[in-house]
């Protein structure tokens, strides 16, 4: 099923069942693809609740990461040895990539500093 063919058949006013028969796919796959092409997202309450949980988890993770990186910046500003400050941040859960971005180095360099 190509997007152009699906749009062409929809423009002709055919139903999802008739389009499915012409394309040799299921009616549900025609409906789902049509909705995605039009930019519609799922609106089932369970899906929305799940998406909200995922967004909340991501936001919490971002806040935690910012807190860890802020502590890293503060430790370095106070004169704590860079390796020690990195080790504290890493032990607390900061990623190598995030630490590297704060320090202006690659994640591999952060790994080398820790080893």
Whether 44 is in a domain gets the answer no
CB–CB of 97/104 below 8 Å?
no
Domain count, the chain: 2
User: Are residues 64 and 99 both part of a single domain?
Assistant: yes
Q: What is the pLDDT along the chain (115 residues), one digit of tens a residue?
A: 688 888 899 899 999 899 999 999 999 998 888 888 887 766 667 777 888 999 999 999 999 999 999 999 999 999 999 999 999 999 999 999 999 999 999 999 999 999 9
User: Are residues 105 and 67 both part of a single domain?
Assistant: yes
C-alpha neighbours within 13 Å on the C-beta side of residue 63: 6
Whether 84 is in a domain gets the answer yes
Per the structure, the complete domain to which residue 95 belongs is given by: 58-114
Whether 77 is in a domain gets the answer yes
Q: How many CB atoms lie within 10 A of CB 38?
A: 9
What pTM value is reported for the model?
0.57
CB–CB of 89/71 below 8 Å?
yes
d(CA 64, CA 38): 36
């Amino acid at each position: 099923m190509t997007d152009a063919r699906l749009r062409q058949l929809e423009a002709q006013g055919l139903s999802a069942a008739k389009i499915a028969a012409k394309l040799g796919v299921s009616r549900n796959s025609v409906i789902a693809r049509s909705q995605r092409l039009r930019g519609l997202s799922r609106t089932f309450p369970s899906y929305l609740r799940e998406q909200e949980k995922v967004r909340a988890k991501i936001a919490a993770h971002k806040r935690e990461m910012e807190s860890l990186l802020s502590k890293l910046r503060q430790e370095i500003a106070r004169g704590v040895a860079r390796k020690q400050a990195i080790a504290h941040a890493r032990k607390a859960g900061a990623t190598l990539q995030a630490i590297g971005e704060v320090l202006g180095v690659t994640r591999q360099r952060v790994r080398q500093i820790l080893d």
